[in-house]
A and B are shown apart, each in its own frame.
Chain A
Amino acid sequence: MTDLPGIPSRRNFLKASAATVALVGVAAQAKAKETAAAVPLDEYKPEYLNAVEWAFVMAATARLIPSEGDGPGALEARVPVFIDLQLAGDYGTAEDWYMAGPHDPTVAADRGWQTPLNPAEVYRKAIPLVDDWCRTTHGAIFAELEADKQDATLTALQKGEVTLPPDVTIFFTTLLANTKEGYFADPMYGGNHGMASWVYIGFPGARAAFREWPTRHNIKYPLGPVSIKGERA
Chain B
Amino acid sequence: MARQEKKKDVVIVGLGWTGSIAGIELAQEGLEIVALERGHDQSVVPNFQYPNQIDELKYGVRLKNFQHPRMQTVTVRRNEAETALPYRSLGSFLPGNGVGGAGTHWNGLNWRPQEQELSLRSYVRDNWGEQIIPDDMVLQDYPVTYDEMEPFFTRFEKVAGISGKAGNIKGQIQEGGNPFEGWRSEEYPMPALPTTYDASLFEKAAKAAGLHPFPAPAGIASQAYTNPYGMQMGPCNFCGFCERYGCYQYSKSMPQTCTLDALKAYPNFSYRTGAEVLRVEMAQDGKTATGVTYYDYATKEEVFQPADIVILASYQLNNVHLMLLSGIGQPYNAVTGEGVTGKNYAYQMNGGVTLFFKDANFNPFVGHGANGIAIDDYSISQIDFGKEGFIGGAYWRAGTFNGQPIRSMPLPKGTASWGGKWKEAIGEWYGHAMSIGTHGSHMSYKTNHLDLDPTYTDPHGRPLMRMTFNWNPNDLRMNQFQKRKAEELAKTMGANITDIGFKDVGAQYDVRPYQTTHNTGGHIMSDSPTTGAVNKFSQAWDKHNVFAMGAGNFVQNTQYNPTGLVGGLAYHTVHAIRTQYLSNPRPLV
Contact = CB atoms under 8 A, between A and B. Distances in A.
Interface stretch (A35-43, A47-55, A131-139, A197-205): A197-205
Interface stretch (A11-19, A104-112, A121-129): A104-112
A151 B237 CA distance: 44
Contact of B431 (A207, A208, A220): A220
B87 A71 contact: no
Contact of B238 (A65, A100, A189, A211): A211
Contact of B85 (A111, A200, A219): A111
A198 B405 contact: yes
Contacts of B422: 65
Contacts of B508: 110
B366 interface: yes
Interface stretch (A1-9, A160-168, A179-187): A179-187
B239 A189 contact: no
Nearest to A99: B88
B54 A228 contact: yes
Given A66-B419, A221-B366, A100 B457 contact: yes
B339 interface: no
B388 to A, nearest CB: 29
Contact of A218 (B73, B89, B197, B371): B197
Interface residues of B, number: 66
B178 to A, nearest CB: 20
Interface string A87-113: 000010011111110101001011111
B504 interface: no
Given A73-B423, A214-B366, A154 B418 contact: yes
B271 interface: no
Nearest to B422: A65
A97 B238 contact: no
A21 interface: no
Interface string B42-79: 00000000111011110001111000111001001000
Given A176-B417, A210-B237, A114 B430 contact: no
B89 A210 contact: no
B237 A209 contact: yes
Interface stretch (B18-26, B109-117, B260-268, B357-365): B357-365
Given A104-B83, A213-B366, A214-B366, A98 B70 contact: yes
A65 B418 contact: yes
Given A176-B418, A213-B238, A184 B427 contact: no
Contacts of A73: 423
Contacts of A96: 62-64, 68-70, 89
A172 B508 CA distance: 23
B455 A201 contact: no
Contacts of B200: 217
A63 interface: yes
A22 interface: no
Interface of B: 50-52, 54-57, 61-64, 68-70, 73, 76, 83, 85-89, 91, 193-197, 200, 235, 237-241, 248, 360-361, 363, 365-367, 371, 403-406, 417-420, 422-424, 426-427, 430-431, 455-457, 508-512
Given A100-B86, A206-B51, 15 more contacts: A65-B423, A68-B420, A70-B427, A97-B69, A98-B69, A98-B70, A100-B456, A102-B455, A112-B511, A158-B417, A214-B238, A214-B367, A219-B361, A220-B363, A228-B55
Please provide the 4 A-B residue pairs with the shortest distance between their CB atoms, ordered closest to farther. Answer: A208-B239, A185-B57, A201-B430, A110-B510
